[in-house]
Structure 1
Amino acid sequence: MKNNLAIIISKDTINAANAGPEGGVRIAGNETQGLVGVWKLLTAMPHAKELTGERSIESRSVKDFGTKCLQSMIVYLSLSRSNIDSRVSAGFLASRLLFVTSCFSPMASFSNSPLPNAVETSRSKYKDLTARFVKWLSCRADDMNIASLDELDGVTESKSVPLNHTKTKNSKGRRKKASTPTLPQKSPLPTAITVGLLVKLAGKMQVFSIRGYLPFFHQSLVLKMTNSKVPEAVFTILDQIIDLRVQVGSFYSRQWPLTPELVQSNRRHQYFIDSLRKIRDLLHSCPTSRPDNALVKLDQFMSLLGLEDNSNATTSSSAPILDEDWLPDNLKGKTSKKDARPQKSDRPLQEFALLADDDNGTDEAEMLAWMLFHDFAHLREHLRDVWEQYHRKEITLVTASFLTTQSVEIVKEMEEDFAQVFPGKAEYLDIVKVMFRWSPSLDIRSVVMKLVMEMDSSMRDFTMGRAFHALWQFGLTLQAGNVPCPKPGFFPTFHPEDDRSSMDDEQLHCEDLAIFMPHLAEVAMQCKLSQTEEGRKTRESDGTTVDEHALVRDMRTFIIKRSRPTPLHLIFQWAIYRDIVLVNRKELNRPLDELHEFARKIVSSAKDWMNDYDSRFYTYNDVDSVRQSIRDFIDRVESFVLTDRLGSWKRKNDIVNLAPYQLWHYNPWACGAALYSLLLIVHHCTVQVLNSTGYLGSVVHLYHALRVHERIQDPWPQMDQLLDIVKECAFDDHLPEKGQCLASFWGFMGGDPTTSDADSTTGFTSSGYGTGVLPKDYGGSLPGRLSEDHQYRLTDGLIAELFPHASDGVVAKRSRAGPSSRQLRFGGKRCDTFGLLKTLQRRIESDLKNTALGLDLFAAQRMALSILRRWVNRTKEEFIGCFGPRYVERPGQICFLPGYLLGCMEKFEEYKGRHPSSSIRPELVERIVREAVISLQEGKDDLNKSLEGGARMFYLSN
């Protein structure tokens, strides 16, 4: 049996097995051939016929054959225990052989493997919680009599524990102290505990209770746990585990009628929940008071018996907070001299797991599938609430759309995580077959019939059955290379004014099809347009068009395959689309109106800036390329947003257009995505303009300096808001006080802050940060460099921008050179999905209304330049008299003039002494200051008039 030896049995091997999971049982070489060797080994043993039942293995599958071999081995070892080693229990060997069994089972991947992403799911939470409980239970085995595998397997000490008979005299006849009878070591709990072992544990507790031994058992437990307590966090973890299982169990009651398989699964499921509750009740009777000497440092909690892991493994954000209760005194500083391997308390969390066994394996797969759809349902519920907030005008369209897009990205990560558990079985059809115990050979038509016809409305909504049915039915209308061209009446008509609550099931089904089918055809038409020469040119020019940010991109794969709706997140997207339409059914025209209003506002503001463009004030700055980008942007908005591009293409090809802007007409999500895309593009262009001139930053510095020197008394809320927006980059996040304004200004403009000498400043430059009004990636905390890439995927950079002040140990630091590329972990914990979405919502709403992202920077640039030009035109003679004609005659350099004024205001004598040839006089400086105040006041009046006329300082403000 060279290279095929499967199991090696000897006393030394069994002793090595007690040292850890590496020994005792080992699969080597080819697994099937190795098991053949095991079979031959078993048939040569006593009681072989009773154990194996047959000698032929040709008819057995690998999994069944392996399980039979291992079960036979366990029984044989228990019968021949005295001939092998008295320290070995059948339960211990069974726990070791579990790892072999798992190699032949698809449930092997259900161990506590970390997610490849930072999003917490119900599965990751459940696995993390169970691993923490198993780790705690395994570490407390020495303190609790209930944790012995010997007892759980029903092996009594009288039969399996021989006593050592000791002599009372030595060889010289002298009397010696009698030694205590030696008891064999009990088998410790393994790091991987099966569901069956936990059920046995609960059953053992029940037996003690029935026989009246529970008080004695508790008393023994108290004696054993004098210095070791059950912390409150253990009960918190058990409650969360039970709650998750109960939530999954509640789904059984929503299915009717229940199949026999589901009835049995539900019974096992409820039995396991009851067992967990029994364990919790017993632990609740154990001491929980804190010992007097339990004050220990936090790092000791991390390494000694805490449920918090001390490794780099990903952990759940739902873990209870640590306190001193986690640390038992009798384990502080305790190390094993005989075993070089680390204690269980020091071993990483991913080594611990609650595994499934026997029929529980199928139950576990079913439970994980239910958990996945449970997450989908909660995410859809959260998004419905988000869109209801938009409907009530509590949040903007951009916020609702952005959160929807990010939720789809979260679903994609959940889908990838589930695909790791079920390789090749993460499609919708495969998952629902597992959930409902349907035959794997069931065809798609039968699955659709069961989902749509045999389930009630709540279960259809939970499983997204209607969305799947609509996609499948639409796929049947597709032909190779062609999409349907519906005419009026081809699909059911959606009537938003109808009352959905008064409809029966048939009417609800008809309305759902009326929501899905016309828009499916429109999206397919857009996919077809994108494949034309015109569409390809558009996509190649700017990466993605503004009308393809929702639903369209993921539809291409389905249109190509046609046979079955894939991937899973595509079904989720269309289920969300239906939810959005139903929430906004009374105002479905509002999102499109907001998009068009925003587009017209941007185009108008950009054209006004282009018309006011004076090359004299931009001669020495690189704005020409930006001007071309702005022209292209105006053309794109007018061609793709303010014009029904898809409708025009239909008319060219003699295709009926059912309604103008039909692609966006009933799709608020797409309208918000297009709006956000336009917002990022225009923001990127205007920031480049501002960085290339410095006019806005110059005016903001002038305004703040005059206010600090008490030359401006009346408040100007809009300018104060601008000051707050640019404070971080223009003032290094610190507004200067009186006497520091000069140094702050020259530091901002790129000059030497230690001198007020004008000759030291060669001219404005935008090549580095700290110069200009805004950094290249500025936009508040939200987009950062996302504005240049127009990407929506939830990235580390986005999160880093959301938490710019967090330490490097929590998230990547915000950097002027761009977000860090390091993998994101929230302090080693997964990010709670709904916590993240709520944080995103708060920050986006704040950014759109309080940062430069939503600010009309075209208007701000025009206002700043207008103020400087008025000021210079009125004080030209005074400036020439004080500073010479150098900068007054160079219009592109007027942004430096506030610095010379501040030099005379804060360091008049020093500046006059360094320029003896100049004719600086206090009355000239005072006149320049007075005209600066007047110019700022006129700019304020102009802005107020514009706002009163309907203009907006922020694009999305009410």
Structure 2
Amino acid sequence: MLKVTRDQIAQWLASTAKKHGYVASKGIGAIKAPNPYVGPQTYTVALKEWLILGEFVAKQAPPIIVPAKLADIIEVSIRIRQTYKENIPEDPGDSGEERMAQSQNTLFLNMLRKLRHILEPLLPTERNTPEISAEVFNLFEQLDLEEPSEALEQAPDIIPSHAASSGPIYMAERPTDFEESSFALLLLLHDLHKLRAEVSTAWSRYKMCAEDLVAAAITTNTAVDLARSMADDMKSIFSKHGGEICMLELWYNAECSAAGTSESHRDQPGDEMNVKVFNIANIIFWSAHQLLTAFCNDLRRNPFPDMRRGTQEYVPQSDRNSKSLRELFAEDKEILLEMLPEFFYYCHTTKADASRPPVEDELSRGLRTMFETKEVTLPLAFAATLFLDIQHILDDRVDEGFRRMSDATHFVQANIEEELKFHEGIELATWPKENDMAVQQFVDTLQFWCHEDQQLSTAIRMKQHDTTGPFFLYRRHPWMCGVWKYYAQMRFHEISIVLVNAWDSIMSCAHLYNAMRRGTPREAMWKDFEVMAAPQDAKTFFLGDAPESADDCLERYELAMGASAFNLPKSTRKKKGLIHSKGGLKGLRELGLVHQAFKGRYCDGQGQTDLRADDVQKILDHATWEFKLNEQGHVEDINKDTTKTTTNLPVTKVLKIIHYVIQAEVSEILFDYLRLHRQCWRLLRFVKDNCRQDLIKLFGSDYITKESELPFVVGYVLMSAASTQEAGSLLKARLPGVLPTNKVLEDAIEVVVDMIREGAGALIVDHVLLKGLGVHIDIEYPEE
């Protein structure tokens, strides 16, 4: 926040002045990049140059109107710094460096006020500037800091983004004094607090069954990613004062002093911290840092800690609000120090790259580094605090995450095994045996990591005497379970789409169902098919609007099955063999664009692990969802929209939108395509058997010679009613002298209608999704 607002002001002033003929003085100098690249030159704008640039812009004719967003940024910066100055008074015991730093804040505040005065005639007359009061600003009392107004967030960019702009990039001069570093730390803690609140909201919704485990887990992981990237941005500022942890400790000591106590004070013998300031320590993640540091110190004495229960029984369902500060700290210590040995042996047994699981949560990843370096970072303390928050929110229901992960992975395994058995013995050129082997390997991976207790096996092998219960790490770590559930469901979704496209049963049945829908009653709706087709692209099945005439139905069927338009019988070219479309067979596409954006990281092991706010913003920009935020900043309306993209949002709002969009995509990812494929394949068998005699009369006994050709049954049914005698080389021609007839198509349609009326057409929507996975889908019927 601090760096971005400075850069936005500097960028607008410098780029606007240059556009109108300003010649840069020595106050603007080029920055040498460590790794030169082809692109816009980057310049730094000295703070003393801001007023000169502002005066130059103010003198231009006609007047240059200052963008409302820039005006708001200047105003908010002034108010924040003024409130900060009022809440951090000078201390007689401050060092000379600290007193000088405080004066630097005053100088910068005065400079901003002068800049606002210079630009006053150019400011927009109508704008709503957010209010920031001292009470709201104080993070440690109200735990809140007002975000920029909705108008500010939705306003157009002040300047084109660096990626879109080909001109020079101007950045503000970076301050190095202690006061600015403290100010930067406060804003970082504010953003981390907001991220923490959003994660808590996600898990609270999950507890109320209003949210899927995956949405809560990915939200949590992304929050840690963002926390790490923000801390990395501040490293150059904090490093001059000992680093982020040193700065955090100084801040903690200052807060203790402001509370009339000290960090070293202990109320009772045996206290491991000053419990009077536990709330402050918790807010700034210092208590989690201290617990992690204590464990690292133990590791130096004992490289292999015992896997054991804590010194006192943790009672999850107890009322945390009624506990004293000492009891709250003791509970956090009990939870964390009980789980850290579990994490240690998990990381120890997966230390080698070859033994790593395919997916990992950010807490486990951060602890893996901590066990090696014995150092605790602020992002790791933040992640550990989120882990504790999850325990407190879920209470005695914390192990439900393990059950939901197990249910999901067992469902995936059983479904795949049923599919492998279903098509056993059927040879298909587009589905070689190697595919079966790859799918089986995925099933085995789930079995090894999700259904076999590697932790318990390790404990027994290392002769641990006081081992914890089965799957203890999973049962207490729903965040990890959610990431595994994502992995299982996304891989299953990918496998399902590839398989159904290879076997072509769903695509061929789409054309049969389309022929049936004209003139059929509402009760003959194939619910499973309708729900499957709704989120797919409109051109997936018919390459345009659904065809109506028999001839059009046949032509679209051929195109969908991969025959090139060049090869259709209406072509005036000389007849050739079958020419497949350049893209191969037409088929379904993988859904869940936001889910897909995380796939490289969580499923392929090669995705980005250092997500920044800009990266997450890009994920939203590529998603096809429209959303509205209410006055409280919550998403109150979200729906599909393929034309709109998001505007630049604060990091906490970006996480909020990611959180809600992932939840909105759940039904797309969970749809059981393999079950629908088997349903379609059985339907094709029934159609073939029911229409067999008529099809032989029309096309000969060898129109289909093996079961892998079943999808072509629909083509023959459609061609039986079409005026054309042949359909290129995709299908056999009608026998000479045989006239078209509607009987075969009517008989095939009757098979589909019977299947639907018997309830088989709604098995996925009414049973698998609703009863098995808890996903309810409402179908809006068109008005008759």
Residue identity matched to 1:501: N
Residue identity matched to 1:690: V
Deviation, 1:125, is 2.1
Instruction: Work out the CA distance in 1 between the residues paired with 2:170 and 2:53.
Output: 23
Task: Give the corresponding residue for 2:558.
Answer: 746
Residue identity matched to 1:467: A
- Counterpart pick for 2:2 among 91, 106, 123: 123
Deviation, 1:772, is 4.9
Native 8 Å contact 1:470 1:513 kept in 2: yes
Q: Which runs of no fewer than 5 residues in structure 2 stay unpaired?
A: 27-43, 126-151, 160-165, 255-261, 267-271, 625-643, 777-784
- Counterpart pick for 1:833 among 627, 651, 675: 651
Task: Give the corresponding residue for 1:957.
Answer: 775
Instruction: Work out the CA distance in 1 between the residues paired with 2:196 and 2:253.
Output: 25
Instruction: Work out the CA distance in 2 between the residues paired with 1:802 and 1:951.
Output: 27
Query: Mapping of 1:604-753 within 5 angstroms?
Result: 604-616=414-426, 618-655=427-464, 656-708=466-518, 714-727=524-537, 730-731=540-541, 734-739=544-549, 740-753=552-565
CA gap of 1:946–1:321, structure 2 versus 1, over 3 A, is closer
Instruction: Work out the CA distance in 2 between the residues paired with 1:355 and 1:781.
Output: 35
Instruction: Work out the CA distance in 1 between the residues paired with 2:105 and 2:576.
Output: 79
| TM-score normalised to structure 2 length | 0.74
CA gap of 1:395–1:882, structure 2 versus 1, over 3 A, is same
- Counterpart pick for 2:741 among 916, 919, 922: 922
Task: Give the corresponding residue for 1:378.
Answer: 194
User: Does the alignment pair 1:429 with 2:245?
Assistant: yes
User: Does the alignment pair 1:508 with 2:328?
Assistant: yes
Instruction: Work out the CA distance in 1 between the residues paired with 2:124 and 2:422.
Output: 77
| Other structure's SS at 2:680 match | helix
Query: Mapping of 1:44-83 within 5 angstroms?
Result: none
Residue identity matched to 1:506: R
Higher relative contact order (CA 8 A, sep 6+): 2
Task: Give the corresponding residue for 1:865.
Answer: 681
| Other structure's SS at 1:622 match | coil
CA offset digits 1:227-253 (Å, max 9, x no partner): 536646353232121244357558748
| Other structure's SS at 2:467 match | coil
Task: Give the corresponding residue for 1:525.
Answer: 345
Task: Give the corresponding residue for 1:460.
Answer: 281
User: Does the alignment pair 1:883 with 2:699?
Assistant: yes
CA offset digits 1:803-826 (Å, max 9, x no partner): 4489xxxxxxxxxxxxxxxxxxx9
CA offset digits 1:509-532 (Å, max 9, x no partner): 10110121111111002112224x
Instruction: Work out the CA distance in 1 between the residues paired with 2:202 and 2:515.
Output: 43
User: Does the alignment pair 1:238 with 2:57?
Assistant: no
Deviation, 1:624, is 2.1
Instruction: Work out the CA distance in 2 between the residues paired with 1:520 and 1:436.
Output: 25
Native 8 Å contact 1:763 1:893 kept in 2: no
- Counterpart pick for 1:843 among 640, 653, 661: 661
Native 8 Å contact 1:879 1:888 kept in 2: no
CA offset digits 1:859-914 (Å, max 9, x no partner): 12211111111111211112222122334322101112212322343435777997
User: Does the alignment pair 1:228 with 2:48?
Assistant: no
Task: Give the corresponding residue for 2:639.
Answer: none
Percent identical pairs in the alignment equals 17
Residue identity matched to 2:363: L
Native 8 Å contact 2:698 2:734 kept in 1: no
Instruction: Work out the CA distance in 1 between the residues paired with 2:122 and 2:411.
Output: 69
Greater radius of gyration (CA): 1
Native 8 Å contact 1:729 1:773 kept in 2: no
Residue identity matched to 1:642: H
Deviation, 1:555, is 1.6
Deviation, 1:687, is 2.6
User: Does the alignment pair 1:902 with 2:756?
Assistant: no
User: Does the alignment pair 1:275 with 2:129?
Assistant: no
CA gap of 1:621–1:918, structure 2 versus 1, over 3 A, is farther
Residue identity matched to 1:471: L
Query: Mapping of 1:474-553 within 5 angstroms?
Result: 474-479=295-300, 482-489=303-310, 491-531=311-351, 540=354, 544-545=357-358, 548-553=360-365
CA offset digits 1:532-581 (Å, max 9, x no partner): xxxx5xx627x6245x434222222211222x32x432222112211222
CA offset digits 1:735-784 (Å, max 9, x no partner): 4232443333222211134655699897898x963515335x66555316
Deviation, 1:604, is 2.5
Task: Give the corresponding residue for 1:85.
Answer: none
CA gap of 1:319–1:859, structure 2 versus 1, over 3 A, is closer
| Other structure's SS at 1:350 match | strand
| Other structure's SS at 2:563 match | coil
Instruction: Work out the CA distance in 1 between the residues paired with 2:103 and 2:621.
Output: 45
User: Does the alignment pair 1:561 with 2:373?
Assistant: yes
Native 8 Å contact 1:781 1:843 kept in 2: yes
Instruction: Work out the CA distance in 1 between the residues paired with 2:153 and 2:248.
Output: 28
Instruction: Work out the CA distance in 2 between the residues paired with 1:639 and 1:828.
Output: 41
Native 8 Å contact 1:229 1:289 kept in 2: no
Q: Which runs of no fewer than 5 residues in structure 1 stay unpaired?
A: 1-121, 150-189, 203-219, 291-316, 325-345, 439-445, 807-825
CA gap of 1:690–1:236, structure 2 versus 1, over 3 A, is same
| Other structure's SS at 2:47 match | strand
Deviation, 1:928, is 3.9
Task: Give the corresponding residue for 2:37.
Answer: none
CA gap of 1:764–1:689, structure 2 versus 1, over 3 A, is farther
Task: Give the corresponding residue for 1:193.
Answer: 47
| Other structure's SS at 1:771 match | coil
| Other structure's SS at 1:581 match | helix
Instruction: Work out the CA distance in 2 between the residues paired with 1:224 and 1:804.
Output: 41
Task: Give the corresponding residue for 2:583.
Answer: 769
| Other structure's SS at 2:318 match | coil
Native 8 Å contact 2:342 2:473 kept in 1: yes
Instruction: Work out the CA distance in 2 between the residues paired with 1:271 and 1:891.
Output: 82
Native 8 Å contact 2:217 2:480 kept in 1: yes
More moved, 734-743 vs 462-471: 734-743
Query: Mapping of 1:157-556 within 5 angstroms?
Result: 191-194=45-48, 227-228=62-63, 231=66, 233=68, 235-245=71-81, 248=84, 252=88, 264=99, 268=103, 271-272=106-107, 275=110, 278-279=113-114, 282=117, 286=121, 321=156, 348=168, 350=170, 353=172, 356=175, 361-422=177-238, 427-432=243-248, 435=251, 452-453=273-274, 456-479=277-300, 482-489=303-310, 491-531=311-351, 540=354, 544-545=357-358, 548-556=360-368
Instruction: Work out the CA distance in 2 between the residues paired with 1:375 and 1:954.
Output: 38
| Other structure's SS at 1:744 match | helix
Residue identity matched to 1:866: R
Native 8 Å contact 2:547 2:553 kept in 1: yes
User: Does the alignment pair 1:593 with 2:403?
Assistant: yes
Residue identity matched to 2:316: P
Task: Give the corresponding residue for 2:35.
Answer: none
Query: Mapping of 1:752-763 within 5 angstroms?
Result: 752-753=564-565
Instruction: Work out the CA distance in 1 between the residues paired with 2:740 and 2:167.
Output: 78
User: Does the alignment pair 1:789 with 2:607?
Assistant: no
CA offset digits 1:910-948 (Å, max 9, x no partner): 77997452634415434444444346526x722445766
CA gap of 1:393–1:885, structure 2 versus 1, over 3 A, is same
Deviation, 1:133, is 6.9
Residue identity matched to 2:215: T
Native 8 Å contact 1:369 1:434 kept in 2: no
Deviation, 1:131, is 1.6
Deviation, 1:721, is 1.3
CA gap of 1:544–1:750, structure 2 versus 1, over 3 A, is same
CA gap of 1:835–1:899, structure 2 versus 1, over 3 A, is farther
